[in-house]
Structure 1
Amino acid sequence: MPAAPRRTRRRTYGLLSAAAGLATAAALASALPADAHESHHHHRPGRYQDVQLLSFNDLHGNLEPPSGSSGRVTELQPDGTTKTIDAGGVEYLATHLRQARQGHPYSVTAAGGDMVGASPLLSGLFHDEPTIEALNKLDLDVTSVGNHEFDEGARELGRLQNGGCHPKDGCYTDKKFKGADFPYLAANVLDEKTGRPILKPYWVWQKKDVKIGFIGVTLEGTPGVVSADGVKGLQFKDEVETINKYAKVLQRQGVRSIVALIHEGGFPASGAYNYDCDSAGAGSGVSGPIVDIAKNVTPAVDALVTGHTHSAYVCDIPDPSGRPRMVTSAASFGRLYTDTTLTYDRYTGDIARTAVKSANRVVTRDVPKAQDMTDLIGRWNTLAAPIGNRPIGYISADVGNTGTESPMGDLIADAQLAHGRELDPRTSLALMNPGGVRAGLTYAAKGAEGDGVVTYAEGFTVQPFANTVNLQDFTGAQLIQVLKEQVSGANAAAPKILQPSANLTYTLDLTKSGADRVVTDSIRLNGAPVDPAATYRVATNSFLAGGGDGFPTLAQGTGDLVGADDLSALEKYLTANSSAASPLTPPTANRITIVQ
């Protein structure tokens, strides 16, 4: 499919403060009619104008179609059964978005953060410049920041916004990287020194007499899920307070129609993208942080585009006045986009809330590929191929990345234990955070590689963060506490189950609550009970070693020793333990006994 014409827009928005002189009060718009619809006149526009809002979230640099379960969505059928559909790939996303815009002269495209970070090698190897280039071609209008936009720190985020060659790696082509054509919004991310947002807090889309304001925030808990270096010098403020503040600012400027882009999300009751979230009442089908946020964000905001949890939902959640308000999320990796109709009332300048319609659409792979995206992927693949196609190991079957304990998580833990013992033979065990395992390994051949071959590119997709393998000493009591922190404290509501090396086993009883879900008497290391008074040498990645993901006890270790990066450890383990004649058998993920 030929590339769609570029829409003209102003170049944007440096790493700056836009918060000075902002007012704090505004009146809410009046109540709107329930029968709002678009009307037409030969010479004068009608009262109501439908505006198409296309949105997506958590792309994570997945330009090529993601593989395995990461490249499928579940669809609920009329008879109650489900089927899976292959989905995703920026060549197809571009086609779907361009087709969706046809016949909609009033159309705006927005995103809910994590466009980059934790990206496959095609994008990650080049510090996500290919993804920004692709988003420019997609005609993305605006996005909030997500936590992964801070993986390489605020300075690198500023480069992605403004352009320029990478400070260490330089320019990858003969053309200088020009940066994003769209604004990144970071209303609740403040510079500690100035107290002001590091990027624009809001942006106003306007076509003729129709104006819609967008406010962008990331989750307040970003420092807990990003390395300390990535958020150094930054403060992350409450999402609700920030959105409410800037909604007043927009109202003062005469903007009454407002959409919040929030990189925080929820968990739907069903994994099907087309599940009826409101089947038992408004907002009944979703739980998690976004519910409280939605219930407290000012009624001046007309819709919420969310993300972070990689879930798919389209829900009505009551605002503080009790009126239903649309809250959406389009899963992740470009597998879905959300098509929302916002009916703009020219008399009030506000959205006729009762006329808002929304649905998630699948980015199927049965449409023509967008040629400009194919060309983009080809150019960057040519640069990446010498590195990405190098074999690093062999597997006898898929190494999956699903479940409370995953084969891929276990494999990484085993690799880090092996690397730890090379550094220090006293190393007792290894623990891997599940959020750091970004994909599994697929047995089936991709491109020119043979079945069972694991390439560097595939390994990079699994572990793209460049964390180091760190060794620390802990008492047995501290080790037990770490395991309990998986299901208590910051992780009580949404457990984060660490992936253990093969020599650590225990029982997780999900019929209990809080820390009691870890059955202390069941914990065994090399078949023996953990001695609370003994000292154990534990291998983790550097993110966990800093207390990340809600594990404060892991920041209390002693005798720190820093090893190689985690991908190098995985590569070395695969090389040592597999060959074409004797491929590695995936772990069976039976180290944690789950009672439920």
Structure 2
Amino acid sequence: MKGALNGNAIRKAVPALILTTVFSAAFVLDSGRPETTGISHSIETGQSRIHVQLLGVNDFHGQLNVTREVNGRPVGRGDYLAAYLKERKAENKNTLLVHAGDMVGASAPVSSLFQEEPAIHVLNKIGFDIGTLGNHEFDRGTKEMLRLIRGGFNQRSEYFIGAGFPYLCANVLNAKTNSPIFPPYKIMKVAGVPIGFIGVVSDDTPSMVDSKAIEGVTFIDEVTAINIAVGELKDQGVKAIVVLAHISGKQSSRDAAASGEIVEMAKLVDDEVDVMFAGHSHSYLNTEVDGKLLVQAESYGTAFSDVDLEIDPVTKEIVSKIAEIVVTYHDAIKPDPEMKALIEKYETEVTSVVDEIVGTAAFDITSKRNENGESTLGNLIADSERSMMNTDFAFINPGGIRAELQAGTVSYEELLTILPFHHHLVKMQLTGDQIRQVLNQQWQHDQVRMLQVSGLKYTWDERKTGSDKIVDLYTDDGTLVVPDKTYSVTVTSYLANGGDHFTAFQNGTNKEMGPIDVDSFKEYLKQFNQPIRSFIDGRIQKVR
């Protein structure tokens, strides 16, 4: 785990910023779940225990009108998520709605084309109580992130009111003042009992965004920041503590072992922490590690976390905690009418921009990678970028592809959902040896990021140790890539700047800026011999 910073120095940088609120809500019985009044009797103390419900969302990414599938059933969308949260909230008057970051960024056009204001507006309407930052909140820069949350003007929109609930973040500091840009924690009183909430975002965020986007802020170690905040909460008598952490963690099922940075963090944070909401990895998580309940509810509003707590009103301690990850199946509920109308309003406003038809897909072309690491959509996009910039090779980072190309008519809206970041294409020169370095950087300390390629074929061997898993490199006609020969390469500006730890791209020479990636993709598809097709053709091969 990362080394801790000097505690006294950080304690000075993370002052106590406490805002206390009293939460109450109307209570409605729901025959679909156990009835509760928010209290139960405790034999141990003779007092009534307080039942608190925390409903959590992570990595929504402004997917207001995007439907996905789980088990062959439609899921997601802001109006269905709102309906589920409203239904669950009505079951317990002691309910708080929380989120663990990445509510914006990589968003659908109905949010991204309006500077992400629609996503925040929907969160306000749903009634979220508290949240934290994710790395994608920084996509448009710190200044714009602060405007979106606190309210204000920008050059493209009128005044926006901002988030109607507080954001917390203990480990992002103003570089000049060394103080947090948001309160590190907040005390919420539920039925008279104080619950402390702490927010953190991955300190690896600088590797995930353009360096200009985080000018003026610094990121410190998450565990250090959490433990300092816990200490200050404990000094104020708070014994029920929840962390909202945009930190990755995952399980393949409820009974499977959990992995990821949040698991290691749970072992290091103060034992007064009871619950940690995770994010970033877009995965399932519902387990207990070192006495802390860890949850993550997939992504894109396809699920949410329902954490049920019992608190002793005398000791103020959480004495019981259990969680459920709830999938937002459309066929089990009706969409919230207010949210549905709001989303349709935004859809109408962007129609003239996004309804352009660019072609027809013969079948679903997906970003799902096979066991070698290759995907049909990755191949198609990489081919488009290589063609536009007329280079020998092209590389696409997998995190840049955010949706699938579905069979049938293809609109510009679909392309904007697939490639939502609007990165420029960059042409550069790399040697064969530098290309090998790039490909070996796919194996990182916590995950594997398989680049999608065009014009190149290569083999890799997972049995090789260290950072040298690439075996052979060829051009697409079967010619070996020569280590000291120079080749022309296309990447996005994100990769050109070393994003996702692909620092070898920073060594590229003779860099030339090209068009926006999604516009390049649109023009490529419009010129495609219809219908649009893409196949797995052995560009990436795993040695067996």
TM-score by length of 2: 0.90
1:435 counterpart = 2:399 = yes
Q: What amino acid is aligned across from residue 406 of structure 2 in structure 1?
A: T
1:469 counterpart = 2:415 = no
1:110 counterpart = 2:98 = yes
| Paired residues of 1:486 and 1:492 also in contact (CA < 8 A) | no
| Paired residues of 1:38 and 1:46 also in contact (CA < 8 A) | no
Q: Which residue of 2 aligns with 1:496?
A: 449
* Distance in 1, Cα, partners of 2:300 & 2:275: 22
Q: Which residue of 1 aligns with 2:305?
A: 338
| Paired residues of 2:102 and 2:280 also in contact (CA < 8 A) | yes
Q: After the TM superposition, which residues 231-242 of structure 1 pair with which residues of structure 2 at under 5 Å, given as runs?
A: 231-242=214-225
| Paired residues of 2:94 and 2:191 also in contact (CA < 8 A) | no
| Paired residues of 2:170 and 2:182 also in contact (CA < 8 A) | yes
Q: Which residue of 2 aligns with 1:227?
A: 210
1:585 counterpart = 2:536 = no
* Distance in 1, Cα, partners of 2:99 & 2:448: 27
Q: Which residue of 2 aligns with 1:154?
A: 142
* Distance in 1, Cα, partners of 2:151 & 2:342: 18
Deviations 1:109-145 (A, max 9, x none): 1111100000011111111111111001111111110
Q: Which residue of 1 aligns with 2:199?
A: 216
Instruction: Report the CA distance shift for 1:219/1:245 in structure 2 as closer, same or farther (over 3 A).
Output: same
Given the alignment, which residue of 187, 194, 207 partners 2:190?
207
Provide the secondary structure at the position in 2 that maps to 1:267. coil
- Note the C-alpha offset of 1:563: 0.6
Deviations 1:427-469 (A, max 9, x none): 21110100001111111xxxxxxxx221111000011111100
Q: Which residue of 1 aligns with 2:317?
A: 350
* Distance in 1, Cα, partners of 2:397 & 2:258: 25
Given the alignment, which residue of 333, 348, 352 partners 1:382?
348
Q: Which sections of structure 2, spanning at least 5 residues, go unmatched?
A: 1-10, 18-37
Given the alignment, which residue of 316, 325, 328 partners 1:363?
328
Provide the secondary structure at the position in 2 that maps to 1:442. coil
Given the alignment, which residue of 458, 461, 468 partners 1:509?
461
| Paired residues of 2:283 and 2:297 also in contact (CA < 8 A) | yes
| Paired residues of 1:18 and 1:200 also in contact (CA < 8 A) | no
The size of the alignment, in residue pairs, is 508
- Note the C-alpha offset of 1:18: 11
* Distance in 1, Cα, partners of 2:446 & 2:203: 16
* Distance in 2, Cα, partners of 1:473 & 1:190: 37
Q: Which residue of 1 aligns with 2:27?
A: none
| Paired residues of 1:507 and 1:523 also in contact (CA < 8 A) | no
Deviations 1:301-342 (A, max 9, x none): 111000100001201111xxxxx2210000000011111111
**Identity across the alignment (%):** 36
Q: Which residue of 1 aligns with 2:359?
A: 393
Instruction: Report the CA distance shift for 1:20/1:57 in structure 2 as closer, same or farther (over 3 A).
Output: closer
Q: Which residue of 2 aligns with 1:121?
A: 109
Q: Which residue of 2 aligns with 1:134?
A: 122
Given the alignment, which residue of 390, 412, 416 partners 1:460?
416
Provide the secondary structure at the position in 2 that maps to 1:250. helix
Given the alignment, which residue of 523, 531, 543 partners 2:494?
543
1:169 counterpart = 2:152 = no
Q: Which residue of 1 aligns with 2:504?
A: 553
Q: Which residue of 1 aligns with 2:296?
A: 329
Q: Which residue of 2 aligns with 1:14?
A: none
Compare 252-261 and 52-61 and name the one that shifted more: 252-261
- Note the C-alpha offset of 1:72: 2.5
Instruction: Report the CA distance shift for 1:589/1:187 in structure 2 as closer, same or farther (over 3 A).
Output: farther
| Paired residues of 1:492 and 1:514 also in contact (CA < 8 A) | no
- Note the C-alpha offset of 1:525: 4.8
- Note the C-alpha offset of 1:566: 0.6
Provide the secondary structure at the position in 2 that maps to 1:549. helix
Provide the secondary structure at the position in 2 that maps to 1:554. helix
- Note the C-alpha offset of 1:40: 5.1
Provide the secondary structure at the position in 1 that maps to 2:107. coil
* Distance in 1, Cα, partners of 2:487 & 2:367: 28
Provide the secondary structure at the position in 1 that maps to 2:178. coil
Q: Which residue of 1 aligns with 2:20?
A: none
Q: What amino acid is aligned across from residue 555 of structure 1 in structure 2?
A: Q
- Note the C-alpha offset of 1:410: 1.3
Compare 530-539 and 251-260 and name the one that shifted more: 251-260
| Paired residues of 2:40 and 2:48 also in contact (CA < 8 A) | yes
1:196 counterpart = 2:174 = no
Provide the secondary structure at the position in 2 that maps to 1:514. coil
* Distance in 2, Cα, partners of 1:84 & 1:523: 39
Instruction: Report the CA distance shift for 1:126/1:103 in structure 2 as closer, same or farther (over 3 A).
Output: same
Q: Which residue of 2 aligns with 1:287?
A: 259
* Distance in 1, Cα, partners of 2:517 & 2:384: 9
Q: What amino acid is aligned across from residue 415 of structure 1 in structure 2?
A: S
Given the alignment, which residue of 284, 288, 293 partners 1:316?
288
Instruction: Report the CA distance shift for 1:186/1:479 in structure 2 as closer, same or farther (over 3 A).
Output: same
Q: Which residue of 1 aligns with 2:542?
A: 594
| Paired residues of 1:336 and 1:360 also in contact (CA < 8 A) | yes
Q: Which residue of 1 aligns with 2:516?
A: 565
Given the alignment, which residue of 382, 395, 403 partners 1:413?
382
Deviations 1:185-239 (A, max 9, x none): 1211111111111112112221341211111111110011111121122211111
Given the alignment, which residue of 69, 73, 92 partners 1:72?
69
TM-score by length of 1: 0.82
Q: Which sections of structure 1, spanning at least 5 residues, go unmatched?
A: 1-16, 24-36, 74-82, 278-283, 319-323, 422-426, 444-451
| Paired residues of 1:163 and 1:177 also in contact (CA < 8 A) | yes
Q: What amino acid is aligned across from residue 513 of structure 1 in structure 2?
A: T
